[in-house]
A and B are shown apart, each in its own frame.
Chain A
Amino acid sequence: MSGFGRELWFLWRDRAAKVWLLIGFAAAGLAVVFGLMEIAAQRETIERLKTADEIERAVTTEAHREDWGSAAYYTFHLSYDAPEAFAFAALGQRDASPWKHRIRMLALEGQIHETDAANPDFALIGRFDFAFVAAMIAPLILIMLLHDLRSGERASGRYNLLSATSADARMLWLSRAAWRVGALAFVLLVPLWIAGFVSGAGAPKLLGASLALLAHLLFWWAVIACVNTRTWTSTVNLTTLIGLWLAFAVVAPAAIKAGVDAAIEVPEGGDIMLTQREAVNDAWDLPQEATMKPFVERHPDMAPYAAIEGTFEWKWYYAFQQVGDQIAEPLSIAYREGRARRDALASRLTWLSPPAKLERALQRLASTDATAALQYEDEVRAFHAELRAYFYPPMFRGEPVTDAMLAERPNFE
């Protein structure tokens, strides 16, 4: 039997190792099953919402077609961010950031920050997804598998004998450890690939995730190997390694988070709302030109129709909704930029914490990270702009509501 094969035999005979590998397999298996269930539930929710939205919109459209102003005021439009096929592996920010909205033509800043969040206790505890297993649990299992490779033999008095009799002692330890790292990677990746094929995630994403996981395991292997070269006992090795796990997986991320949040100021979200609300409400008491002028600057094509007669006209009403957004815009942009900058800095700093880096990498692949949340927000903004572009011309020209025009109303897709 070759040396390499013999080590596999040893691994197979090691009961503790088998138990830990089984735990890894069970954890990864459960995680992908929960992930698939959650994604399926989110997809079903979106389907139900789409149906409900269609019915609701048909009813309100029929009930409010006296003019374009009422049609725009009463109809809400569903927007949503459907999870990607690979999202089962990393549920990410979807518990904290909104992925569904009902939007109408009023000032957007008053609507886009609404969060239809799940139970806060869930967000507090967190989800058992593959990213969590790979980032937090896998290193612990690897530590349990590798910490007493040398010290165990040393304690049983075989270390010197083994080192002296094997042709290449380094090769011996390397292959022994390699089998274990490989076995752990195998038991973690098999459930991932099966779930990936079930959900249709596609090989590139699965490959990317697998490479990220392997890199993470290699990092921990290196850490463990460094500790193992010391002639400490297994216990000291293990406690040291668990201390290092705490440092890399728990303390470092917390420190990075605190540091990033302190380093980059983000305006209070509430201030955006407050600014927008004051602007919209003040407009009622301001001369109408004060609203129409900044409005026309954004929509020069509406200039010929921007004269307001009488004390109330829908176009004036929507103009001050829009101007409310314009006044809150600098704050809103700062809020968005601030979050993007925090994310970028966190991305750089998490090189100091490989588990956090891995979790972020998986969330990127799954489009469930802050970037994806911001992107969805941009899509909602674009959709809202589309609605405005659709409603303004007939509303400002005072055209009647027709079926032909209604058929062209934009949908979120």
Chain B
Amino acid sequence: MSTIFTIAAAEWRLWMRSRSALAALLAVVLIIAATSVLTAVRFTEEREERTHQQEVAEETFLSQPARHPHRMVHYGHYVFRTPPPLAIIDPGVDTVTGQSIFLEGHRQNTAMFADTRASANVGGFQSLSPAAVYQILIPLLLIALGHGVFVREREARTLAPLLAQGVSGVTLYVGKALALAGLSAALLTPLLIMSLIGVTSGEAIGVSLAVVVAYGAFMLVWSALIVLVSAVVGTRGVVLGTLVFIWLAWSLVTPRLAVASASAAAPSPGKLETDYQLLADLRELGDGHNAGDPAFDALRANLLAEYDVDSVEELPINFRGAVAQASEADLTKVMNEYAERRMALEVRQSRHVNGFGWLSPVLAVSAASRHLAGVDLETHHRFLREAEAVRFDFIEGLNKSHTQELSYTDDINRNQSPEASRRARISPENWTVLDAFRFQPATSNQRFGAAAAPISMLAVWLTSLVVAGVFATGRLKP
């Protein structure tokens, strides 16, 4: 055991003495600090801003004057997706998806105004978050510092004496790996601080620490790989070339190939295109604005029979409201089918992309990170579903008021005179059908469930690399 520590300590001492190693370390720490502070400030503001906007939107809706209920259906409402506390580490899809949706009758609108659209275009990776730094930059630092762990012994011809002294190859491997693991642990400190900040703003401690653990596992994967390559490959140049090649393949190439593969394997037609099919379906349901549409003949017959009257004028309820209510319900059913199909397809695409985590631990850790932080595709879908629930609820409530609070005669005569138009209004108390909406992050269990697959990928990567390392160094020759 003490031999292992001695070996590890020797590497640490070497790094401490090397000015270029310290300079690289300092540069990376500065980048981590800068991105952490910037991301934390930005997303703390975003959280407050969107929560505030949500409150304002609700107050505005509730403070509308007396109106015809259907006017409120079109007046509509806004919901905002508040980012979770851990967005300060990984903003995930928050910046590329719209953060608010306008809710109105008869339509499911898309989320609008994604940040990326208005923000400056600089190509490549665009903005850096702490997550991106840990996924992309830190491995390069580990390579720069760690690629020599075995090679330098070989170059200095100290490997043979070490082995001759009875230090086994595996002990050397564990010692060198420990050196890199220690470095990784030190580099995780800023991430740990960020996740604790997340805890103070209300995040569960379990998932917060799990994010750190996932990145820790990812850095161990790199450490294990670096030591392995350094041990089995002959010269320093080739070690470095191999590691840079793997870094390039894992970080830059595989993720984007995964996207190309997913869009070829599961092409998505896009909302606009499926909307045409939807429109054809909807025409069969009838236009809810037009109570004379033949599509509502059955509804009229049923209501007349139910209340035992001969004409819609004699109904105790407002027939136009009943039509609006029935048609909105039918319409919503069809729209939801289409929305669910679209989301299922996107989930399939994303699973396809995440499957490439078996080829690149960078994809595995980024998926784990998004799932754990609660900024994944599924969270966005949940936002869309919850928004739809809010939409349907208040539209349904307004249509109910339309049916019960407003007489049919007043309703059909509303355009006769300004006076008639005033009679066809209902009081603002009816607007309280709108429920308060606060978008909440997924529960810890849901997030752990979603992250299980990519985390097990990391575990498999780590285990197999360690096994390969132990195996290779077990038969280490100078």
Asked if A238 is at the interface of the complex by the 8 Å CB criterion, the answer is yes
Asked if A219 is at the interface of the complex by the 8 Å CB criterion, the answer is no
Q: A34-B260, A243-B27, A281-B71 are in contact. Are A254 and B121 (CB under 8 A)?
A: no
Beta-carbon contact of A115 and B122 below 8 Å:
no
Q: Which of A116, A258, A268 has the most CB of B within 10 A?
A: A258
Asked if B380 is at the interface of the complex by the 8 Å CB criterion, the answer is yes
Cβ contacts under 8 Å, B341 to chain A = none
Beta-carbon contact of A96 and B96 below 8 Å:
yes
Beta-carbon contact of A115 and B114 below 8 Å:
yes
Cβ contacts under 8 Å, A363 to chain B = 121, 123
Beta-carbon contact of A277 and B276 below 8 Å:
no
Beta-carbon contact of B118 and A339 below 8 Å:
yes
Main SS of the interface on chain B? Answer: helix
Beta-carbon contact of B256 and A274 below 8 Å:
no
Name the contact of A100 in the complex, choosing from B116, B122, B127, B272 (C-beta under 8 A).
Answer: B272
Beta-carbon contact of A277 and B76 below 8 Å:
yes
Beta-carbon contact of A49 and B122 below 8 Å:
no
Q: A119-B268, A236-B20 are in contact. Are A274 and B241 (CB under 8 A)?
A: no
A110 to chain B, nearest CB (A): 8
Beta-carbon contact of B96 and A124 below 8 Å:
yes
Enumerate A349-402 residues with CB–CB distance to B below 8 Å.
350, 353, 355-356, 358-360, 363, 369-370, 373
Asked if B273 is at the interface of the complex by the 8 Å CB criterion, the answer is yes
Asked if B427 is at the interface of the complex by the 8 Å CB criterion, the answer is no
B348 to chain A, nearest CB (A): 10
Beta-carbon contact of B124 and A270 below 8 Å:
no
Asked if A52 is at the interface of the complex by the 8 Å CB criterion, the answer is yes
Name the contact of B125 in the complex, choosing from A119, A240, A250 (C-beta under 8 A).
Answer: A250
Cβ contacts under 8 Å, A55 to chain B = 276
Beta-carbon contact of B259 and A126 below 8 Å:
yes
Return the chain A residue nearest B279 by Cβ.
Answer: A56
Enumerate B395-448 residues with CB–CB distance to A below 8 Å.
414-418, 420-421
Return the chain A residue nearest B238 by Cβ.
Answer: A16
Beta-carbon contact of B120 and A45 below 8 Å:
no
Q: A56-B279, A119-B349 are in contact. Are A312 and B415 (CB under 8 A)?
A: yes
Asked if A290 is at the interface of the complex by the 8 Å CB criterion, the answer is no
Asked if B472 is at the interface of the complex by the 8 Å CB criterion, the answer is no
Beta-carbon contact of B75 and A281 below 8 Å:
yes
Q: Give Cα A119 to B417, complex, Å.
A: 50
Asked if A346 is at the interface of the complex by the 8 Å CB criterion, the answer is yes
Beta-carbon contact of A356 and B113 below 8 Å:
no
Q: Give Cα A345 to B120, complex, Å.
A: 8
Q: Give Cα A45 to B276, complex, Å.
A: 12
Cβ contacts under 8 Å, B248 to chain A = 23, 137, 140
Enumerate A221-272 residues with CB–CB distance to B below 8 Å.
234-236, 238-240, 242-243, 246, 249-251, 253-254, 256-258, 260-261, 266, 268-270
B181 to chain A, nearest CB (A): 21
Q: Give Cα A119 to B263, complex, Å.
A: 9
Beta-carbon contact of B257 and A128 below 8 Å:
yes
Asked if B200 is at the interface of the complex by the 8 Å CB criterion, the answer is no
Interface string of A20-63 (1 = CB under 8 A from B): 00010001001000100110010001001100110110010000
Q: A41-B267, A53-B276, A152-B237 are in contact. Are A250 and B114 (CB under 8 A)?
A: no
Q: A41-B267, A137-B253, A270-B53 are in contact. Are A254 and B125 (CB under 8 A)?
A: yes
Interface string of B85-119 (1 = CB under 8 A from A): 00000001100111010100000011011101111
Q: Give Cα A358 to B421, complex, Å.
A: 61
Asked if B180 is at the interface of the complex by the 8 Å CB criterion, the answer is no
Cβ contacts under 8 Å, B259 to chain A = 121-122, 125-128
Enumerate B249-276 residues with CB–CB distance to A below 8 Å.
252-253, 255-260, 262-264, 267-273, 275-276
B394 to chain A, nearest CB (A): 15
A106 to chain B, nearest CB (A): 10
Cβ contacts under 8 Å, B74 to chain A = 281
Cβ contacts under 8 Å, A125 to chain B = 255-256, 258-259, 353
Q: What are 6 A-to-B residue pairs whose CB atoms are below 8 Å?
A: A122-B262, A137-B252, A250-B125, A251-B128, A270-B112, A285-B65
Given contacts A114-B112, A257-B127, 12 further A-B pairs with CB under 8 A are: A23-B245, A102-B275, A117-B110, A119-B268, A119-B349, A125-B258, A136-B252, A242-B144, A243-B27, A254-B126, A273-B102, A285-B67
